[in-house]
């Protein structure tokens, strides 16, 4: 299938637009200080502070500034030094532009694989013509352009935030699983989990992708197609022998434990490698125990209650200390409770399941940012053909625009002008959480509706 005409021109224009913003507005945007863009875990300013402490032979986790990975200190720390004639974090911004482009290419490659799997499945079910008659979009090119031109993605790239790197390793894990490359999937999953912890739940869709393969209609459709073909072939023995109706490609297949075991092995290897590098980086500076406490412990205990676009900061600022641990468990376990039911219902569409997990964790995580939304909205576009009839899409589109515009206004009224209070800013965060909830519910409902439509067409 032909891709979107002029894709490379549009992709190059998106990269050029990032460079143009960076050159024309090196200091005036001040996005690095926005709570919607930079969080205590992704702020480049905090990373520069941690790197300075490390250069002074002190633990980068001294005080309460830096809470990220020590590997990012070694990777990005030298680039945060001020250079005469260059704006602050000039080289870091160049790195983030390149990272965004690589992530978009991986999204495009993932979409191409999903489109091929979709084509083969519909061909086996003899539904290629009736389904394609309604119009088909090249989801790979479309999702890549959505990610590159998404204002949230552009703001994250220009906002002195390490979120583009977090997004890249998550996309790398999904692409590796879709390509059934166990080593690449393990690399992306281990590093994504190391950087922000929440991608650990992606192990479920990754195992399903490695075991069963790419997204496809429910297996009962192929069984139904087989049974109808056999019954019809009872009166036409030649058709049965030809095997024209036998499932092939990405239809019914056995679970591949070999790839899953390879993934587990590679995950163990990469995990040991990451811990080894971290131990070397933090030698005589606190060690791994302090790293676990100041990174994962910081995420799980929600120590920093500075405002962000999430809902946990306001809730834990108001809750009684006696109930704090109880509600910490409730909020974090709430994510885990959704893993198994969604996996059972969407096991035939593991890549879509990965999108759902990412969206849910972005909504309920301790320190969310617009970079999380840029990631799952880009992944959502991979399923543009299946979700073409999704309801409330215009409402969600306008809602995201409204929240994006109102959030900085309410923050300014509260912090700088003093004409508002915390409730003003928290209202935008609450509306943002509601929009994400509607998006997850409607996308899952539309995908299941699409599968039911395919079932009816096969039965007919």
Q: How many residues does the chain have?
A: 460
Q: What is the percent of the chain where pLDDT is above 90?
A: 43
Return all residues near 28 (Cβ < 8 A) that are at least 6 apart: none
- Paired residues of 161 in beta bridges: 43
Please say if the pLDDT value at position 3 is more than 90: no
Run of H or E residues at 162: none
pLDDT of the residue at 151: 92
DSSP letters spanning 72-104: HHHHHGGGGS--TTS-TTHHHHHHHHHHHHHHH
pLDDT of the residue at 421: 83
The distance of Cα 197 from the centroid of its chain, to the nearest Å, equals: 13
Return all residues near 199 (Cβ < 8 A) that are at least 6 apart: 169, 170, 173, 189, 192, 193, 358, 361
Please say if the pLDDT value at position 107 is more than 70: yes
Q: SS3 of 308, please?
A: coil
What confidence tens digit (pLDDT) does each residue in 134-158 have? 567 788 899 999 999 999 999 998 8
Please say if the pLDDT value at position 393 is more than 80: yes
pLDDT of the residue at 362: 92
Return all residues near 380 (Cβ < 8 A) that are at least 6 apart: 143, 355, 359, 387, 439, 443
Please say if the pLDDT value at position 418 is more than 70: yes
What confidence tens digit (pLDDT) does each residue in 115-124 have? 888 888 878 7
Please say if the pLDDT value at position 261 is more than 70: yes
- Paired residues of 43 in beta bridges: 161
CA neighbor of 290 nearest in space, from 54, 40, 68, 61: 61
Residue 306's pLDDT band (boundaries 50, 70, 90)? Answer: confident
pLDDT of the residue at 240: 36
DSSP letters spanning 359-426: HHHHHHSSS--HHHHHHHHHHHGGGTTTTTT-TTHHHHHHHHHHHHHHHHHHHHHHHTS-SS-HHHHH
pLDDT of the residue at 161: 87
What confidence tens digit (pLDDT) does each residue in 44-86 have? 888 988 888 888 888 888 877 889 899 998 888 888 876 655 6
Q: Which CA distances in Å does 258 have to 122, 190, 254, 264, 344? A: 27, 19, 11, 10, 22
pLDDT of the residue at 232: 46
What confidence tens digit (pLDDT) does each residue in 330-371 have? 988 988 998 999 999 998 899 999 999 999 999 999 999 999
pLDDT of the residue at 243: 39
Residues 382, 376: Cα–Cα separation, whole Å: 10
Please say if the pLDDT value at position 373 is more than 90: yes
Residues 167, 382: Cα–Cα separation, whole Å: 16
Q: SS3 of 219, please?
A: helix
pLDDT of the residue at 216: 80
Mean pLDDT for the chain? 85
pLDDT of the residue at 87: 61
pTM assigned to the model: 0.90
What confidence tens digit (pLDDT) does each residue in 313-333 have? 998 988 888 889 999 999 889
What confidence tens digit (pLDDT) does each residue in 178-217 have? 999 999 999 999 999 999 999 999 999 999 999 888 888 7
Specify whether the CB–CB gap between 30 and 38 falls below 8 A: no
pLDDT of the residue at 148: 94
pLDDT of the residue at 235: 45
Q: Which CA distances in Å does 163 have to 16, 323, 334, 364, 415? A: 20, 32, 24, 17, 25
CA neighbor of 73 nearest in space, from 44, 51, 41, 45: 51
DSSP structural state of residue 4: -
pLDDT of the residue at 238: 45
Please give the backbone phi and psi of residue 395, each rounded to the nearest 5 degrees, phi first. -65, -45
Please say if the pLDDT value at position 90 is more than 90: no
């Amino acid at each position: 299938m032909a891709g979107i005409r002029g894709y490379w021109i549009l992709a190059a224009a998106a990269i050029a637009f990032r460079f143009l913003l960076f050159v024309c507005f090196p200091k005036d945007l001040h996005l690095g200080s926005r709570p919607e863009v930079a969080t205590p875990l992704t702020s480049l300013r905090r990373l520069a502070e941690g790197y300075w402490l490390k250069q002074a032979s002190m633990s980068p986790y001294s005080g309460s500034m830096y809470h990220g990975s020590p590997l990012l200190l070694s990777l990005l720390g030298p680039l945060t030094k001020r250079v005469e004639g260059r704006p602050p974090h000039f080289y870091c911004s160049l790195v983030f532009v390149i990272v965004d482009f690589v992530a978009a290419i991986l999204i495009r490659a993932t979409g191409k694989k999903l489109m091929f799997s979709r084509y083969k499945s519909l061909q086996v079910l003899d539904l290629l013509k009736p389904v394609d008659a309604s119009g088909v979009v090249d989801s790979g090119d479309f999702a890549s352009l959505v990610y590159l031109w998404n204002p949230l993605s552009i703001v994250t790239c220009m906002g002195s935030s390490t979120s583009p790197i977090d997004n890249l390793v998550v996309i790398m894990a999904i692409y590796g699983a879709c390509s059934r490359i166990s080593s690449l999937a393990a690399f992306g999953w281990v590093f994504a989990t190391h950087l922000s912890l929440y991608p650990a739940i992606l192990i479920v869709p990754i195992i399903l992708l490695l075991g069963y393969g790419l997204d496809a209609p429910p297996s009962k459709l192929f069984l139904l197609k087989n049974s109808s073909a056999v019954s019809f072939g009872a009166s036409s023995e030649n058709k049965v022998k030809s095997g024209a109706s036998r499932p092939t490609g990405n239809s019914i297949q056995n679970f591949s434990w070999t790839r899953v075991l390879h993934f587990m092995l590679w995950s163990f290897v990469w995990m040991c490698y990451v811990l080894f590098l971290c131990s070397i980086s933090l030698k005589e500076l606190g060690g791994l125990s302090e790293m676990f406490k100041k990174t994962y412990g910081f995420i799980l205990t929600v120590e920093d209650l500075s405002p962000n676009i999430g809902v946990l900061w306001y809730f834990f600022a108001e809750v009684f200390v006696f109930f704090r641990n109880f509600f910490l468990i409730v909020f974090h376990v709430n994510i885990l409770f959704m893993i198994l039911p969604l996996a059972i219902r969407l096991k035939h569409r593991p890549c879509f399941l990965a999108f759902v997990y990412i969206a849910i964790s972005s909504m309920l995580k301790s320190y969310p940012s617009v970079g999380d939304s840029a990631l799952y909205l880009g992944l959502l576009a991979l399923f543009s053909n299946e979700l073409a009839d999704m309801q409330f899409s215009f409402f969600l589109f306008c809602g995201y625009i409204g929240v994006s515009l109102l959030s900085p206004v309410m923050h300014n009224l509260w912090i700088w002008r003093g004409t508002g209070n915390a409730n003003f800013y928290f209202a935008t965060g609450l509306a943002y959480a509601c929009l994400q909830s509607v998006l997850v519910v409607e996308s899952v409902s539309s995908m299941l509706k699409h599968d039911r439509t395919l079932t009816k067409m096969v039965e007919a």
